[in-house]
Amino acid sequence: MHRFSRRNLLGWIAGAASLVIFLGFQFGIFNGVWGVVAFAAAIAVGAWWLWEQWDQLRHRQRVERFAAQHGWTYSEVGPLALARGSGFPFGVGTDRRVANLIEGVYSDTRCISYDYVFKYKVADERSAVQVFTVTQASLPVPFPRLDLIPEDAGSRMLGAITGSDIDLESAEFNRAWRVLCSDRRYAVDVVDPRMMQLLLSHRMPGVAIRIEGDRVLAWSAGRADVADLRRRLDVVVGVAKRIPAHVVRTYTDAETRRRAEQDKREANAPTWAKTPGVLNSRRYTGIGVDADGDGVEDWEQRSR
Amino acid sequence: MEWFLIALLVIVVIAGLWAVGAYNGLVRLRNLVQEAWHQIDTELQRRHDLIPNLVETVKGYAKHERETLEAVTAARTAAVAPGSSPAEQAQQENILTQALGKLFALAEAYPDLKANTNFLQLQTELTNTEDRVAAGRRFYNANVRDLNTRVETFPTSIIANMFKFVKAEYFETEDPAARQAPNVQF
């Protein structure tokens, strides 16, 4: 169902105002220059709103068609948890949502693509809607964050992602891309000559790449044309597959150790905490409950 | 006159702050280079530690290939010797890599050896170590590049010369064949 937003309301008001002004002219209520100006302004706003609606509808239909052609699933609205991340554009602004979500497998890798929409304040009480197109490929294990920003990206994108640019051994690559990462060694390991070759041959103007957690993202401002989706998928899947094997091994080992420690902590947890339904019962607090029958209430055991 | 002195003082202070910043930057880079070298050294040590076990495993199946086995042992001994500069170490590692390449090539003629679990495991460990050495080399050379650029470019070169900062040596392979990790083709 299409969201009814302030923009829609504005459009309805413009449409209603146009009708009122038209009828006003018909019945001689409005006349003169100001009447014409008001009428023209209302028509312009109404026309702009109609164009926006039509453009969004067309984009939605194209995305749906792409999903149907490739055996992917389409959802008009997606869970906001998909758009998690530690830096711009995620976590910025208000009224954040995921729209036009498609999910499927591309080149043996699970991928998704969606429009990430949010509002941000431009001045005082006014806010503007910003749309980003995000395409993701899954990674086998979590990796630290690494940003690759094209040098031709807009100043807003460049300014929003801060950090020291890491120079690599290719001057052409350094001119084309900005590599931002808190761990220089990790960045140098990941962006090896093969990765540089991929990024130079698959450049898309204004599209930034991010490796964060268990995913590779390609993100850019605006609603991207569906025709570019295949190229974006090529980039994110290519990056996911070209992370050097020794880096994958290092972080696979780290993840295995982390899970082993987590399993050990869970194994050593008190019995009441592992009981299904514990959050809905008094067992969660352990007050008045002695699950293991040792004469000490469960909440006291935690503090001993 | 007074304004002139104030201006001169300001210039001296700014120049002094810049000099301190340049000096600290050079120190930071030099430490990065040293740290990167230690990381490579750790991986090279691991590589050297795997070789005796490998030689013993191969000897059990191919005792007549004495020349190849002795070449590997000799190359390892030279690589392990302390006190080499990065360029010298690179040369020694190149020789070791070539010797290991010949060792793995001769394993082709011994199917029992190729199927030996210990041999396969050592081969995998060596390949993994080679990957880490290659990655470490890239990182080390990147830091060396930054240090050398700072030492050579003006005006930081003034501070570098004053405080005896010198260019570091790269750690790189010369033989294109040695760029490949030793691997047995089954």
Tell me if B54 sits within 8 A of B122, measured CB to CB.
yes
Q: pLDDT (tens digit, 9 = 90+) per residue, A65-119?
A: 899 988 999 998 888 888 877 788 887 888 888 999 999 999 999 999 999 999 8
Please name which of A242, A266, A234, A146 lies closest in space to residue A193, comparing C-alpha atoms.
A242
A26-35, A225-234, B35-44, B127-136: which range is least confident on average?
A26-35
Segment B72-92 mean pLDDT: 87
Predicted pLDDT of residue A3:
46
Q: Does B141 touch chain A (CB under 8 A)?
A: yes
**Which of these three, A227, A243, A259, is where a domain ends?**
A243
A13 within some domain: yes
Same domain, A226 and A103: yes
Number of domains chain A is built from: 2
pTM: 0.74
| Residues A42 and A164 occupy one common structural domain | no
- Does one domain contain both A21 and A126? no
Question: What does the block give as tokens for A31?
Answer: 């006349």
Both A132 and A225 in one domain: the answer is yes
A256 in any annotated domain: no
B75: Cβ contacts below 8 Å, ≥ 6 apart: B92, B95, B96, B98, B99
The predicted pLDDT at position A169 comes to 85
Question: Does residue A232 sit within a domain?
Answer: yes
Q: What are phi and psi of A164, to 5 degrees?
A: -80, 135
CA-nearest of A115, A133, A117 to A235 is A133
Domain ranges of chain B: 25-179
Instruction: Specify whether A14 is located in the same domain as A122.
Output: no
Work out the minimum CA distance from A155 to partner chain B, whole angstroms. Answer: 27
**A192 and A60 fall within a common domain:** no
A93 shares its domain with A225 = yes
| Fold adopted by B25-179 | de novo design (two linked rop proteins) (1.20.1440)
Q: ipTM of the assembly?
A: 0.73
Kindly report the average pLDDT of chain A as a whole number: 83
**Closest partner residue to B135 among A167, A168, A244, by Cβ?**
A244
CB atoms within 10 A of CB B150: 20
Burial profile B23-54: b = 16 or more Cβ within 10 angstroms, e = fewer: beebeebbebbeebbebbeebbeebbebbeeb
Assess whether pLDDT exceeds 70 at residue A154: no
CB contact under 8 A, A189 and B128: no
Verify that A96 and A117 share a domain, yes or no: yes
Q: Are A181 and A163 in contact (CB under 8 A)?
A: yes
Q: Which two tokens stand for residue B48?
A: 């050297």
- Cβ of B138 and A249 within 8 Å? no
Which pLDDT band, with edges at 50, 70 and 90, does A283 fall under?
Answer: low
A231 shares a domain with A107: yes
Domain boundary among the residues A48, A67, A86 is at A67
Query: Would the CB atoms of A169 and B138 count as touching at under 8 Å?
Result: yes
What does the block give as tokens for A145? 């964050």
Together in a domain, A148 and A176: yes
Phi, psi of A127 (to 5 degrees): -135, 155
What is the residue range of A44's domain? 6-67
**The tokens 């210990």 sit on which residue?**
B118
How many beta-carbon contacts under 8 Å exist across A and B? Answer: 29
Residue ending a domain, among A204, A226, A243, is: A243
Residues A62 and A78 in one domain: no
| Shortest Cα distance, chain A CAs vs residue B124, angstroms | 12
| Rounded Cα–Cα distance for residues A183 and A173 (Å) | 19
Q: Tell me the pLDDT tens digit for each residue of B143-179.
A: 999 999 999 999 999 999 999 999 999 988 654 544 4
| Å between A168 CA and nearest CA of chain B | 7
Task: Check whether residue A87 and residue A50 sit in a common domain.
Answer: no
